[in-house]
Amino acid sequence: RRILAALEDDARAAGRTRMVLETGTRQPEAIALYASSGYSPCEKFGHYRTYESSRCYAKPLR
């Protein structure tokens, strides 16, 4: 959770307004962490689009 918060802080400092993360269906702990940290499922991106087991999550950075 602290690492994720640090990554979000760095993204904000770089002027980013949205954080997008990817994980897979075999990482339920990551999915739970993202959901409990305010991330919502979003459209798959990049080469992850082609993987059935891929899950992407996004969160606006304020």
C-alpha span between 26 and 59 (Å, rounded): 21
CATH number for the domain that contains residue 51: 3.40.630.30
Give yes or no for residue 62 having a pLDDT over 90. Answer: no
For the chain, how many structural domains are there in total?
1
The answer, yes or no, to whether residue 60 has pLDDT greater than 90, is: yes
Tens of pLDDT, residue by residue over 7-51, are 999 999 999 999 999 999 999 999 999 999 999 999 999 999 999
Q: Which amino acid is at 46?
A: G
* Host domain of residue 48: 2-60
Helix (H) / strand (E) element for 36: namely helix 28-36
Helix H or strand E segment including 41: strand 40-42
pLDDT tops 90 at residue 54: yes
What is the predicted pLDDT for the residue at 38?
Answer: 97
Q: Are 21 and 39 in contact (CB under 8 A)?
A: yes
Q: Which residues contact 19 (CB under 8 A, 6 or more apart)?
A: 7, 8, 11, 39, 58, 59, 61
